[in-house]
């Protein structure tokens, strides 16, 4: 029987919400008096859903959502909002809460919202189980130098790496940063041939030139080709531009204090740090990056350290 | 004036607080650059010598946001002012450390602490 944990420092609102959920069959309802009490109860027994007030004395709804996203990412959190807590509720939704119900509408909306969120969570869990059974996946993209397309591609690749189990949440983010840097480099420095040295003079000139070249052959005709292979053990990303290539040895060391004010080389540094392997072809217009799943031994050690 | 999408500014006495409203994955969009220029204008015209950048909503970022902060840092340094960053996510903090910017930009845990840091 699924369990819902209702978190509210007002006993009236807590019991009211609980009472409204009795109309859903086979539901176990637990209560917590604030965010801190909720975390204690969740540690003892992880619920299938958390419904929380936003403004509470100990740990508020936003802080509770942040902890839940990190420690219990698959448990959906529904917010109960009241007048004056809208801003904090928006932040909580951005931070990963699943849905919200205004307190004045609890009678009409709470049970339906809980049903809907349960249905979506079931679907997500099913998809997640299926994705973890992928043995190998290979995708190929050829995209224009369009920063919105690049952002969407990064999200897609992050999701793939995460669903096959190569990345946990933190590594998913790190992988996204490295991919964003690599694909942006392929677009700006590779296909559009805009040099970072121009950015040292004036960043506006750098972006103006890039924009100009987006419509100017041969730059405008060049594509970014991305090949990604996923397995439960690793994700390999190969990003190739159609520019003349570059010699990465000419880049200044961005961590040298003398270069801190210069805008060059930081993307490559982040790629090298966040990926397990980064290598370029001889011409310098193709980079291959590998992200490996942490070994269970590493995970255990990190778990102990946490 | 249209509503900001990425950089919201708030005046806190002599300090200009720049609140990130989301992830800045690229400065390539005209709108992002335009917003950055608006912050620079506000910094200059308001005579602010202290700048706080609140990263709470930027769950992650890479070299693009570092570049935007570096530009604002140059502006504020040029008038002898100070900058402080606050509320970075774990990965955001990691990015700042990798790029060694944590050595030059004070990185603290709350906006109140950042305001105290730049007011000294």
CATH of residue B86's domain is 3.30.750.24
pLDDT at A291 over 60: yes
Considering its fold, how many domains does chain B have in total? 1
pLDDT value at residue A261: 67
Q: Give the N- to C-terminal CA distance of chain A in Å, as an integer.
A: 31
Chain A 26-85, residues with CB within 8 Å of chain B CB atoms: none
- Burial (Cβ within 10 Å: 0-12, 13-18, ≥19) of residue A176: buried
First to last CA, chain B: 33
Q: Is residue B104 part of a domain?
A: yes
Q: Name which of B29, B60, B63 is nearest A267 (Cβ-Cβ).
A: B63
Angle at B100 between CA B44 and CA B74, to 5 degrees: 15
Residue B93 covered by a domain: yes
The residue of chain A nearest to residue B67, with distances taken between CA atoms, is: A263
Note the pLDDT of residue A279.
94
Tell me whether residue B2 is in a domain.
no
Q: How many CB atoms lie within 10 A of CB A46?
A: 14
Mean pLDDT for B49-59 is 91
pLDDT tens per residue, range A185-234: 999 999 999 988 888 778 888 889 999 999 999 999 999 999 999 999 99
Prediction ipTM score: 0.84
B83 found inside a domain: yes
The minimum CA-CA distance between B17 and chain A, rounded to whole Å, is 18
Sheet holding A137-143, edge to edge: A137-143, A224-230, A234-240, A286-292, A277-280
Q: Is residue B1 part of a domain?
A: no
Mean pLDDT, residues B22-39: 81
Q: What is the pLDDT of residues A53-74, one digit of tens each?
A: 988 887 888 889 989 988 888 8
The percent of residues in chain A predicted with pLDDT above 70, rounded, is 93
Residues 6+ apart with CB under 8 A from A124: A74
Suggest the residue from A207, A214, A268, A272 to mutate for an interface test with chain B (most B CBs closer than 10 A): A207
Average confidence (pLDDT) over B40-64: 91
Cβ of A204 and B33 within 8 Å? yes
Residue to substitute from B6, B19, B25, B54, interface A, most A β-carbons within 10 A: B25
Q: Is the pLDDT higher at A22 or at A200?
A: A22
In this prediction, residues A133-144 reach a mean pLDDT of: 94
Answer whether residue A305 shows pLDDT above 60: no
pLDDT of residue A304: 46
- Judging contacts by C-beta atoms under 8 Å, the chain B residues touching residue A91 are 57
200-239 of A, contacting B, C-beta below 8 A? 203-204, 207, 210-211
Position B92 in a domain: yes
**Nearest Cα to Cα of residue A154 among A71, A235, A269:** A235
In chain B, the residue whose alpha carbon lies closest to the alpha carbon of A266 is B63
Residue of chain B minimizing CA distance to A151: B25
pTM of the model: 0.74
At residue A300 the predicted structure's pLDDT band, cuts being 50, 70 and 90, is: very low
Nearest to A98 by CA among A136, A135, A152, A51: A51
Nearest to A175 by CA among A273, A264, A248, A269: A273
**A291, A271 Cβ separation under 8 angstroms:** no
Residues contacting A217, CB < 8 A, separation 6+ = none
Among B59, B60, B100, select the one facing A255 at the smallest CB separation: B100
Q: A9: pLDDT confidence band, cut at 50, 70 and 90?
A: very high
Whether B105 is in a domain gets the answer yes
Q: Report pLDDT digits (tens) over B83-112.
A: 999 999 889 999 999 988 998 999 999 999
Evaluate whether A80 touches A17 at the Cβ level (below 8 Å): yes
B36: tokens are: 């950055």
In which band, very low, low, confident or very high, does the pLDDT at B64 lie, cut at 50, 70 and 90?
Answer: confident
Flag whether B47 is in a domain.
yes
Residue in chain A closest to B75 (alpha carbons) equals A261
Chains A & B: contacts with CB separation below 8 Å? 79
Q: What would the two tokens of residue A173 be? A: 């983010």
Nearest CA-CA distance, residue B76 and chain A, Å: 13
Q: Which domain holds residue B11?
A: 7-118
Closest chain B CA to residue A88: B57
Contact B104 A260 (CB under 8 A): yes
Taking CA atoms, what residue in B is nearest to A265? Answer: B63
pLDDT digits (tens, 9 = 90+) for A108-129: 899 999 999 999 888 888 887 8
- The contacts of residue A303 (CB under 8 Å, 6+ apart) are none
B98: which chain A residues are within 8 Å (Cβ-Cβ)?
255, 269-270, 273
Shortest distance, CA A21 to any CA of chain B (angstroms)? 33
- Computed over every residue of chain A, the mean pLDDT equals 88
Is the pLDDT reported for residue B66 higher than 80?
yes
Read off the pLDDT band of B50 (50, 70, 90).
very high
Euclidean distance between CA atoms A71 and A75, whole angstroms: 9
How would you write chain A as a 3-class SS string?
CCEEEEECCCHHHHHHHHHHHCCCCCCEEEEECCHHHHHHHHHHCCCCEEEEECCCCCCCHHHHHHHHHHHCCCCCEEEEECCCCHHHHHHHHHCCCCEEEEHHHHHHHHHHHHHHHHHHHHHHHHHHHHHCCCCCEEEEEEECCCHHHHHHHHHHHHHHHHHCCCCCHHHHHHHHHHHHHHHHHHHHHHHCCCCHHHHHHCHHHHHHHHHHHCCCCCHHHCCEEEEEEECCCEEEEEEECCCCCCCHHHCCCCCCHHHCCCCCCHHHHHHHHHCCEEEECCCCCEEEEEEECCCHHHHHHHHHHC
How large a percentage of chain B has pLDDT more than 90? 58
């Amino acid at each position: 029987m699924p369990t819902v944990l209702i978190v509210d420092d007002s006993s009236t609102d807590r019991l009211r919400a609980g009472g409204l959920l009795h109309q859903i069959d086979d539901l176990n309802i637990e209560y917590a008096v604030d965010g801190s009490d909720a975390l204690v109860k969740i540690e003892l027994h992880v619920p299938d859903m958390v419904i929380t007030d936003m403004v509470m004395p100990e740990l508020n709804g936003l802080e509770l959502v942040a902890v839940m996203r990190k420690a219990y990412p698959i448990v959906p959190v529904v917010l109960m909002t009241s007048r004056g807590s809208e801003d904090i509720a928006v932040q909580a939704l951005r931070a990963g809460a699943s849905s919200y119900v205004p307190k004045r509408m609890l009678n009409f909306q709470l049970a339906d919202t809980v049903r809907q969120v349960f249905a979506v969570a079931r679907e997500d869990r099913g998809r997640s189980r299926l994705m973890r059974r992928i043995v190998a996946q290979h995708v190929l993209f050829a995209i224009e130098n369009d920063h919105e397309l690049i952002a969407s591609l990064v999200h897609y690749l992050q999701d793939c790496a995460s669903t096959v189990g190569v990345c946990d949440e933190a590594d998913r983010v790190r992988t996204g940063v490295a991919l964003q840097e690599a694909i942006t480099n392929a677009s700006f420095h590779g296909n559009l041939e805009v040099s970072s040295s121009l950015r040292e003079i004036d960043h506006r000139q750098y972006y103006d030139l890039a924009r100009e070249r987006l419509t100017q052959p041969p730059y405008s005709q060049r594509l970014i080709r991305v090949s990604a292979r996923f397995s439960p053990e690793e994700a390999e990303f190969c990003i190739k531009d159609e520019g003349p290539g570059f010699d990465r040895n000419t880049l200044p060391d961005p961590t040298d204090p003398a270069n801190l004010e210069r805008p060059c080389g930081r993307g490559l540094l982040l790629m090298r740090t966040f990926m397990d392997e980064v290598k370029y072809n001889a011409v310098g217009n193709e980079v291959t990056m590998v992200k490996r799943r942490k070994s269970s031994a590493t995970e255990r050690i990190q778990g102990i350290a946490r | 004036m249209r509503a900001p999408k990425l950089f919201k500014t708030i005046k806190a006495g002599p300090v200009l607080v720049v609140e990130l409203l989301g992830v800045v994955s690229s400065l390539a969009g005209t709108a992002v650059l335009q917003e950055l220029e608006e912050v620079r204008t506000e910094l200059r015209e308001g005579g602010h010598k202290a700048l706080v950048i609140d990263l709470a909503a930027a769950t992650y970022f890479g070299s693009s946001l570092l570049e935007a902060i570096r530009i604002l840092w140059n502006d504020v340094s040029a008038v002898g002012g100070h900058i402080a960053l606050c509320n970075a996510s774990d990965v955001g903090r990691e990015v700042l450390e990798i790029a060694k910017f944590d050595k030059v930009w004070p990185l603290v845990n709350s906006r109140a602490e950042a305001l105290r840091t730049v007011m000294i």
